[in-house]
Each structure stands twice: as structure tokens, then as C-alpha cells.
Amino acid sequence: MSPPAPALPPPLVHPPRRTLRRRLAQWYRGRPLRTRLAALTALAVAVAIALSALTCWFIVEQRMYDLVRKDLGNGVTHIPPGAINGDGCASTPQEALANATKAQSATGASQPFGGGKLQDIQLVSADGRTVCVPSDATRAIVVDPADLTLQPGKTAERSGTYTNGDPALVRIAWLYDRNGRPSGIALTAAPTKPVEESLQQLALILGLVAALGVVGAGLTGRLIARSALKPVDDLTDVVEHIARTEEVGTTIPVSGNDEIARLSTSFNSMSTALANSRDRQTRLIADAGHELRTPLTSLRTNVDLLIRSNDTGRPLPEATRTKLLGNMKAQMQELTLLIGDLLQLSRPDSPKPGQNVAVVALHEIAGRAVDRARLRGPGLVFELDIAPWYVHGDGAALERAVINLLDNAVKYSPPGGAVEVRLHEGLLTVRDHGPGIPQDELQYVFDRFWRSPSSRQLPGSGLGLSIVAQSVRDAGGEVSLGPARDGGPGAQATVRLPGEPVAP
């Protein structure tokens, strides 16, 4: 029995290699914004210059080769006498050129076939066995066997070479004898090496110009990006300063009306709003601490008295003990009311759209609030004139707002006074006949924890009207508080809420 074959190791799994495109994308995303703008500018200019350079090169190339073709002319159409059997003839172009050179050296004479200084002419017999060049020839044309297949009466052009390897443009035409019979072909060639050298020089010049243009575009793009992104740099510095020092409210100068200016303006608005929010938060905490200190101090004093009485074994008189317990209960109620108001005000100034919003009957809310107000002011007269009105809002918050307005009216109404409550077409008014509000204090009535100096001895936390203002604003309405419209005594609160007289 043969031993088992050894187990093969598991194949190595190599992680996929990152492509060049992915690497370039990661490199691009890792560059600063000004570098990316400069790179994009340089790339755009490079593409434009490359397209322009290529277009220019191809146009010049076409034009130069057109000039060469024009210079070729119509070639040779007649064989001079004795041309085929001359001293410049042989079986190959190389031998014909050598013979012509020897004959010219020996005789010092020449028998040109014609043509210009920029052309070279060569004759080939119809059978291709004899090649003749002028006696003053300096170059010979390489014969292509396909040249002899040209149909009589036709001409053709092709790219060819000289025997020394230089490139040339060759024109092929049939030659005819005196009787009009085809006797051979004439090859007329123009050198294209100068054209190619000129095109190479042009390509080099265009390449250098393109390179300089790309470098210049990159530098210019970086300068422009630095200038254009300076507001962004300023904004970044301010944001980093705020993150480092937590000094909200810092702004940056704004100039112009472009996208950067709009961004700067929005940032300034946000920074100012954050500073105002922090100020309100700080003021709320400070005011809450101040308002909580008084009932807590009173509670602590009363509790200390009860503990001391119990520890010393000297019980307090029943009337004093009852009074202390009553005061503690009242202080606990005041704390409960204050904490409830604080929770109400702790909600965001702009609640989420649709949060606890429904169609509510404002006239029913006003009716329930009046019933509760009658319990708190049994000696007061409530005059009602309420018409149906339906609004979109938070029913509990709106009822709390109306109750606060009525509590405020009950608190400041004289004994036996009247409280007028009217609701018509979304306009709710609550008027008392109390002392009213001094003109110089009207601007503070909706501030949190603000209380008139003349009413500090009355119970309350100074948060009721703040809750009214916030609840009405959340429902899309407006609220105001001022003297009575008829000029009589007392104050009048006005709430305007959008809605309809019938349920939607």
C-alpha cells in the first residue's frame, strides 16, 4: 500500500493590485484644493495646447508636402536622343550613378534630361533592364518593381528613397518615343529629408512652447487659486480659532457677491447665531440658578428648624409647625412650577416640522383655559366672546400659552375685576383691568425670568410669557402685550394665529 500523497499547501491569494488610475485618484484627493485647481488648470491648458500644436503640425506638414508635389511638375514626357544608351546608363541605379560620375569626371561635360535644381530625374526602360540618370546627377532613385506596372497614359506618386537612403517623393510617368509608343518610365523625385527635418524642428518648437505653456498655466493657476481661495483660508482660520478657543461669534469680512461671499455671509450668520444661543443658554442657566436659590434657601431653613427641634427634644408649637409645613408645601409647588417652565423652555426654538402638530380647536382651548382661570380667581368676572377657529399646532403647548395669559390677567386684576376674553377670526385677546405695564418695561415682558420690579412680591417665575411667545411662534403666529386698546386701565395680550373658522 503506497503512502498517501502529501497535502498541497493552499494557494497563495494575493491582494488585488491597485491600478494606476486608483493611485492617481487617491493622490489627487489627498492634495490641497489650490493644488488641485492648479493641476486642473494646467491639464486643461495642456490639452488645449496639445490640440493646437497637433493641428498646426498637420497643417504645416500638408502644406509643405503640397509644395513638394507642386515642384515635381509634370515630369519628363520626351526622351532626348541617345539618352538610353548614354554614359549614365546601367542595369541598376547605383551603377548608372557611378557611370555618370565617371563620365562627368572624364569629359567635364553634362547631358541633363531637364528638371529643376530641387528635382532628380531618372529613366527606366520598359523592360526594367536599363536605368539612366543625367550626367550631372548626384543621386539615383531606387526603382520599385511596381513602377513598371503603371498603365500607359497614367501618372502616380509614391514615397521612395534615394540609393543613399534619403527619403524622397517620387512621381512616375510613362515616356513615349517619336512614334508615340511607350518606351519607358520617367521617375521624378524631390527630396523630403529637408521637409522631415523642418517638421521635426517644428515639433520640437511646439513641444517646448507647450511645455512652457503648461508650466506657466500651472504657476498662474496656483496664483489664481491662492487669490480666489483666500476667503476660504480666512474662513478656515476662523473655524480653527473657534474650535481651539470656543469663542463663537467671530466673523470674517465679506466682499463681493459670489459664492465665496455667500459662504462667508452664511458662516457669519451661523457664528452670530451660535454666539446668541450661547448667550441665551448662559443667561438661562444664571437666571434659573438665581430663581431656584430663593425657594431652596427657604426650604433648607425650614427643614433645619424641624431637624433642630427634633434633635433638641423641644417640639415646635403646633401652629408654628403647621405654618412651616404650609410654607414648605408652597415652596415645593413653586419649585415644581419653575421646573416645569424650565422643561417647557428647554425645547429647541425651532422644533422639527410636523412634531406634535395637528388641527386643534382654538376656541375649545380658550374655553378650557377660562374654566381653570375661574378656579384661580373665584371673585373675578370673565367676559367671553369666542367664535370657532381651527389652527395647526401643538394643542398642549397652545393650551399652556392661553392658560399663562389668563393666569397673568388673574394675578394683576383687582378684587371683583373683569377679565375680557375674545376670539374672532384667529385674533385672541385677553384683557385685565389691573395696573397695566409701564411703557419702558414692554420690551422685556417676553424675556425669560424677567419680572417687573413692582410685581416681584407676587408668586411666579418670570417664565410664563416666555412660554407664550415660544408656543405661539412654533404655531406660526404672533403675540404682543401692551396697554388696553380703549385707553382704559389694565393690559391687553393679543395672539394672532393662522387658521380657518371651520375644521379642515
Q: What residue type is 185 in one-letter code?
A: I
- 441 CB contacts (<8 Å, ≥6 apart)? 452
Per-chain mean pLDDT for the chain: 79
Please give the pLDDT value at position 438: 79
Whether 29 has a pLDDT exceeding 60, the answer reads: yes
Question: Is residue 400 within 8 Å of 366, Cβ to Cβ?
Answer: no
Please give the pLDDT value at position 388: 92
Cα–Cα distance measured from residue 113 to residue 119, given in angstroms and rounded to the nearest whole number: 11
Whether 345 has a pLDDT exceeding 80, the answer reads: no
Please give the pLDDT value at position 58: 92
Q: What percent of the chain has pLDDT over 70?
A: 81
pLDDT tens digits, 383-396: 999 999 999 888 88
Task: Identify the weakest region by mean pLDDT among 132-136, 217-221, 240-244, 280-284.
Answer: 280-284
- Number of neighbours of residue 177 by Cβ within 10 angstroms: 11
Measured between alpha carbons, how far apart are the two ends of the chain, in Å?
94
Q: Is this model's pTM higher than 0.85 or not?
A: no
Long-range contacts of range 195-200, CB-CB < 8 Å, 24 or more positions apart?
Answer: 195/61, 195/64, 195/65, 195/68, 196/167, 198/64, 199/57, 199/60, 199/61, 199/64
pLDDT tens digits, 230-278: 777 777 887 787 778 777 777 777 777 777 778 878 888 888 888 887 7
SS3 content of the chain, % helix, strand, coil (to 5): 50, 15, 35
Question: Is residue 419 within 8 Å of 377, Cβ to Cβ?
Answer: yes
- 151 CB contacts (<8 Å, ≥6 apart)? none
Cα–Cα distance measured from residue 475 to residue 466, given in angstroms and rounded to the nearest whole number: 14
Of 39 and 187, which is predicted with more confidence? 187
Question: Is residue 374 within 8 Å of 368, Cβ to Cβ?
Answer: no
Cα–Cα distance measured from residue 495 to residue 400, given in angstroms and rounded to the nearest whole number: 13
